Structure 1
Amino acid sequence: MSISNRLAELGITLPQAMAPVANYVPVSITGQLVTVSGQLPAMDGKVAVTGKLGAAVSLEEGRHAARLCLINLLAQLQAALPGGLDSITQVVRLGGFIACTPEFTQHAVVMNGASDLAVAVFGDTGRHARSTIGVASLPLDAAVEVEGQFYIG
């Protein structure tokens, strides 16, 4: 089954890939390794989930934010890869940054919003290594940011 069909089954329509907000490229391709810069939980061109986990942002809102970040990663890949998402043969690594209070400890639960979607979209090739880090703040007051590395074949 194609990735487009899986996305459709999941009810996901990829947005247009967002332009970078600073001096960097959204996608870097080196041989068969593709690195996607951190993506924010944006919808309709603006950050949809802002604030900090452990304060105004609930755990479920954080999971939703991580899922939106992965959707935006997929949009960047779709725009950058000549073969689109079907050329991805492995999700290698996801890195999550969670804006949170010092007492917050549920980072992994938040990041599962992105990880669970990666597996739902790519199946076993969506299983990946990952890091999840709590931070004091993120660009545009985003609650979550997710970056990724992918292998294309």
Structure 2
Amino acid sequence: MKAKKQRVAAYGVCLNDAGEILLARWLGPRGKRWILPGGGLDHGEHPYDAVIREFEEETGFEVEVLRLLGIDSELREEADRDYHALRIMYEVRIVGGELRYEVDGTTDFAQWFPLADVGALERVPSIDTALGLYRKTPPTGILR
């Protein structure tokens, strides 16, 4: 029987007035890919607080949460385990700080991209889910 692993994380969708989205470059097991700033919750931490903390760690920006966009749930079988990722997506706005890069973390770079260019990036699928939630605002908080 395979081990079971569940990870709960919070991510922020941050768009600027120029129609650009802020993404972080993730140092994943299959190479570098773009991801939304955010990450795993610490034990006992509320997702609202986690997205603020993680966003600052990965980008240098202080943010405020504007709204809950929804939740992405992905179950996948891996060679050694069944993995369940639960991603809580928020819309956030920058209220302070300066762009900088995370050191010794899971990301190494942060950059603004025009929304029209996101489709051409090496990215994790949850970016597309988050943008769908942002654009459609489903009342259930999920895309089907």
Structure 1 or 2: larger strand share? 2
Q: TM-score, length-normalised on structure 2?
A: 0.26
Which has more helix, going by share of residues?
1
Q: TM-score, normalised by structure 1?
A: 0.25
